Chains A and B, each alone.
Chain A
Amino acid sequence: MKKVFGIAGLLFAVVVFTAVMSGQPDGSNTFLSAYNLENLAQRIGMFGILSVAAAFVIVTGGIDLSIGSVVCVAGCLLPWLLRDLGWSPFLALPAVLLLSAAIGLWHGLLVVGLRLQPFVVTLCGLLLYRGLMREFTKDQIMGFGDTAEGLRFLATGRVPVTDAFGIPVTAIALLVVAALTALLWNKTVAGRHLFATGRNEEAARFSGVATGRLTVLAYVACSLLAGFAGVLFVLYVNSAQASSAGSFYELYAIAGAVLGGVALRGGEGTVIGVLLGAALMQVLANAINLLGDSNRLEFAVVGAVILAGAAADEGVRRLFSRRR
Chain B
Amino acid sequence: MTAPEAAAAATAVLLSARGIGKAFVGVQALQDVSLELRAGEVLALIGENGAGKSTLMKILAGVHQPDAGNLHLDGQPIALPTPAAALAAGIALIHQELNLCDNLTVAGALFLGRELRRGPFLRQRAMDQAAVTALARVGLRVEPRRLVGSLAPGQKQLLEIARALHGQARVLIMDEPTSSLTPGETERLFAVVRELRAQGVGIVYITHRMAEVQALADRVVVLRDGRLVAEIDGREATPERMVAMMVGRQLRGDRRVGHAPGEPVLEVAGLRTMAWPAHGVDLRLRAGEVVGIAGLLGSGRSELLRALFGADQALAGDIVCAGTRLAAHGPAAAAAAGLVLVPEDRKLQGLVLGMNVRENLSLPTLRSRGAWLDHGYEQDLAARAIRELGIATPHQDQVAAALSGGNQQKIVLGKWLAAAPKVLLLDEPTRGVDVGARAEIYARLHELAGQGLAILFVSSELEEVLLLADRVVVMHEGRLTGELRREQMSEQAILALATGMEVA
Contacts and interface: CB of A to CB of B under 8 A. Distances in A.
A–B direct contact (CB < 8 Å): yes
Contacts of B343: 206
Contact of B366 (A192, A199, A323): A192
B373 A207 contact: no
Contact of A189 (B309, B332, B367): B367
Contacts of A193: 363, 366
B372 interface: yes
Contact of A187 (B309, B332, B359, B373): B373
A116 interface: no
B355 A195 contact: yes
Interface string B337-369: 000010100001111111100010001101110
Interface residues of A, number: 26
Contacts of B25: 322-324
Interface residues of B, number: 29
A261 B368 CA distance: 27
A200 B343 CA distance: 14
Given A196-B359, A208-B332, A203 B348 contact: yes
A199 B354 contact: yes
A209 B311 contact: no
A323 B26 CA distance: 10
B415 interface: yes
Most buried by B among A189, A204, A206: A206
Contact of B415 (A186, A195, A207, A267): A207
Contact of B348 (A200, A209, A268): A200
Nearest to A204: B352
A270 B367 CA distance: 22
A299 to B, nearest CB: 33
Interface in A197-231: 199-200, 202-210
Contacts of B350: 203, 206
Most buried by B among A192, A196, A208, A268: A208
B331 A203 contact: no
Contact of B363 (A192, A210, A268, A323): A192
B335 interface: yes
A200 B354 contact: yes
A189 B368 contact: yes
Nearest to B335: A208
Contacts of A289: none
B122 to A, nearest CB: 31
B359 A189 contact: no
Interface in B123-170: none
Contacts of B334: 208
A321 B175 CA distance: 27
Contacts of B332: 208-210
Contact of A267 (B309, B354, B371): B354
A79 to B, nearest CB: 36
A117 interface: no
A207 to B, nearest CB: 4
A205 B355 contact: no
B186 to A, nearest CB: 28
Contacts of A166: none
A188 interface: yes
A267 B399 CA distance: 14
Contacts of B311: 205-206
A157 interface: no
A202 B344 CA distance: 12
A207 B368 contact: no
A199 B335 contact: no
A89 interface: no
A149 B25 CA distance: 63
A191 interface: yes
Nearest to A191: B373
Nearest to A201: B352
B279 to A, nearest CB: 25
Contacts of B351: 200, 203
A199 B355 contact: yes
A59 to B, nearest CB: 12
A199 B351 CA distance: 10
Contacts of A324: 25
Given A191-B373, A193-B366, A203 B352 contact: yes
Interface string A168-191: 000000000000000100111101
B341 A206 contact: yes
Nearest to B419: A208
A238 to B, nearest CB: 38
A196 B373 CA distance: 14
B352 A199 contact: yes
Nearest to B26: A324
Interface string B308-330: 01010000000000000000001
Contacts of A323: 25
B305 to A, nearest CB: 11
Given A199-B355, A208-B364, 13 more contacts: A187-B371, A192-B359, A192-B363, A192-B373, A203-B350, A203-B352, A205-B331, A206-B331, A206-B349, A207-B363, A208-B331, A208-B334, A268-B354
9 closest A-B pairs by CB:
A208-B332, A208-B335, A207-B363, A200-B352, A207-B364, A206-B349, A208-B331, A199-B354, A187-B372
21 contacts: A187-B371, A187-B373, A189-B366, A193-B363, A196-B359, A199-B353, A200-B353, A203-B348, A203-B349, A203-B352, A205-B311, A205-B331, A206-B309, A206-B311, A206-B343, A206-B349, A207-B363, A209-B363, A267-B352, A267-B355, A323-B25
